[in-house]
Amino acid sequence: MPTLLFKSTFDDPKAWLERLREFVPDLELRVWPDIGNVEEIDYALAWKPEPGDLARYPNLKVILSLAAGVDHIFADPDLPDVPVCRIVDRDLIAQLSEYILYFTLRYHRKMPLYEATAREHRWAKHGRCEAALRTVGVLGIGEIGGDAAAKIAALGFPVLGWSRSPKSIPGVESLCAEDGLRRIVAESAILVCALPLTPQTENFFDAKILADMAEGSYLINVGRGRQVVDADLIAALDSGHIAGAALDVFHDEPLPAGHPYWAHPKVEVTPHIAGDPNPRTAAAQVAENIIRARDGRDLLNIVDPETGY
Ligand code: OXD
């Protein structure tokens, strides 16, 4: 009987088990901390496991990230040497695109300003800009950023996308390397971060990149909190160089109650809800990986430990 450890305090084990059993009827689920005999654990489905925890299972064969990102797994210095797979799911991608589109349109149509004037009961018009004249940049145009970039382009915005290797996405100009980065940062009126967290993207938004961003531009971050130097972003917002930031991810989650982002008038905080793994749509691929691992076949959505995605 395949035995799966469920290691997350954020996701609902019951919903996952019910759905996983539709594909693997004899699956046994051990929900942390009721893990039973550690030797019986074959697979782990995990979100932010504590460092060292996954090394406790001597017969662990595969680690399945309960997310698109895997930085929370690779952060473990004692990670066992087994394959790590991530979730690549149409609903997760759609959720993230909805979030990115929502904030893109919110900033494009100056909604924070209209909300402020409405609070003062003022009938004020704040002017507008054609979508065709407002460039949106998406950093990271893999499955998630690429979907969002295509949808933004379909709304009539010029869209730039930046990634390690060139991509062909309808309506999106694909940029790479340092010169591509300079262009996307300088030309985007709204810049979206959909990058995975890797050693190369940690502290990506520092004072230098923020200063290189277009005057009055907006940042939307659905990547990871550690990609932003918080003090530098706050300074760029306070100076007016950056007009606003929609942040879904933070260095520490939950974002501490006293963190300056909460009260900052130009920051919109959401509690890491841009994309939540959905067992209804994503369990099939988790189950498929359990079946493939059991049969000794190639796994789906396996992560390259070198690149971290
Ligand atoms: C993810 C996330 O990586 O929700 O999927 O952050």
Beta strands in 134-233 (DSSP E): 136-139, 159-162, 172-175, 190-193, 217-221
For residue 306, is it within any domain? no
Residues of the domain holding 80: 3-89+277-295
Residue 307 binned pLDDT confidence (cut-offs 50, 70, 90): confident
> What span, in angstroms and rounded, lies between the C-alpha atoms of 45 and 64?
5
Q: What percent of the chain has pLDDT above 70?
A: 100
> What span, in angstroms and rounded, lies between the C-alpha atoms of 190 and 136?
5
| Number of domains making up the chain | 2
pLDDT value for 263: 98
Residue 180 makes CB contacts below 8 A (sequence gap 6+) with 162
For residue 81, is it within any domain? yes
Is residue 102 pLDDT above 90, yes or no?
yes
Taking alpha carbons only, the member of 222, 122, 221, 196 closest to residue 233 is 221
pLDDT value for 138: 99
Measured between alpha carbons, how far apart are the two ends of the chain, in Å?
Answer: 30
Q: How far is CA 232 from CA 78, 190, 246, in A?
A: 32, 18, 15
Residue 138 forms beta bridges with which residues? 161, 192
pLDDT in tens, 168-207: 999 999 999 999 999 999 999 999 999 999 999 999 999 9
Is residue 125 pLDDT above 90, yes or no?
yes
The CA 224 to ligand 1 mean position distance, Å, reads: 9
> What span, in angstroms and rounded, lies between the C-alpha atoms of 247 and 178?
25
Residues in the chain: 309
pLDDT value for 152: 98
pLDDT value for 309: 87
Is residue 306 pLDDT above 90, yes or no?
no
Residue 2: count other Cβ atoms within 10 Å of its Cβ. Answer: 19
pLDDT value for 194: 98
**Residue identifier of the C-alpha nearest atom 2 of ligand 1:** 67
Q: Does the CB atom of residue 68 touch ligand 1 within 6 A?
A: yes
pLDDT in tens, 148-169: 999 999 999 999 999 999 999 9
The CA 205 to ligand 1 mean position distance, Å, reads: 19
Asked if 213 and 139 sit in the same domain, the reply is yes
Which two three-digit tokens encode residue 146? Answer: 């690429």
Strand order from edge to edge, sheet including 190-193: 172-175, 159-162, 136-139, 190-193, 217-221, 242-247, 267-269
The CA 127 to ligand 1 mean position distance, Å, reads: 36
CATH assignment at residue 210: 3.40.50.720
β-strands 242-247, 136-139 pairing: unpaired
30 part of the active site: no
Asked if 203 and 287 sit in the same domain, the reply is no
> What span, in angstroms and rounded, lies between the C-alpha atoms of 288 and 285?
5
Atom of ligand 1 nearest to the CA of 70: 3
**Residue identifier of the C-alpha nearest atom 3 of ligand 1:** 69
The CA 67 to ligand 1 mean position distance, Å, reads: 5
One of 164, 272, 292, 297 is an active-site residue; which one? Answer: 272
Asked if 265 and 285 sit in the same domain, the reply is no
> What span, in angstroms and rounded, lies between the C-alpha atoms of 242 and 15?
41
Write b or e for each residue in 135-163: b if 16 or more Cβ atoms lie within 10 A of its Cβ, otherwise e. Answer: bbbbbbbbbbbbbbbbbbbeeebbbbbbb
The answer to whether the beta carbons of residues 126 and 120 sit under 8 Å apart is: no
Going by the DSSP 8-state scheme, the letter that residue 286 receives in this structure is: H
pLDDT in tens, 52-70: 999 999 999 999 999 999 9
pLDDT in tens, 78-87: 999 999 999 9
Q: Which of 8, 89, 91, 92 to probe ligand 1 with, by most ligand atoms within 8 A of CB?
A: 92
Asked if 97 and 160 sit in the same domain, the reply is yes
> What span, in angstroms and rounded, lies between the C-alpha atoms of 184 and 191?
8
Which two three-digit tokens encode residue 92? Answer: 């997760």
Residue 42 binned pLDDT confidence (cut-offs 50, 70, 90): very high
The CA 92 to ligand 1 mean position distance, Å, reads: 8
Give pTM, 2 decimals: 0.96
Asked if 38 and 133 sit in the same domain, the reply is no
Q: Report the sign of the C-alpha dihedral through residues 48, 52, 56, 61, in that order.
A: positive
Atom of ligand 1 nearest to the CA of 92: 5
Asked if 40 and 114 sit in the same domain, the reply is no
pLDDT in tens, 197-255: 999 999 999 999 999 999 999 999 999 999 999 999 999 999 999 999 999 999 999 99
Q: What percent of the chain has pLDDT above 90?
A: 97
Asked if 124 and 55 sit in the same domain, the reply is no
Asked if 133 and 262 sit in the same domain, the reply is yes
Asked if 233 and 258 sit in the same domain, the reply is yes
For residue 308, is it within any domain? no
pLDDT value for 7: 96
Q: Does the CB atom of residue 210 touch ligand 1 within 6 A?
A: no
CA angle at residue 71 from 67 to 77, to 5 degrees? 130
56 part of the active site: no
Is residue 135 pLDDT above 90, yes or no?
yes
Asked if 77 and 117 sit in the same domain, the reply is no
Asked if 219 and 289 sit in the same domain, the reply is no
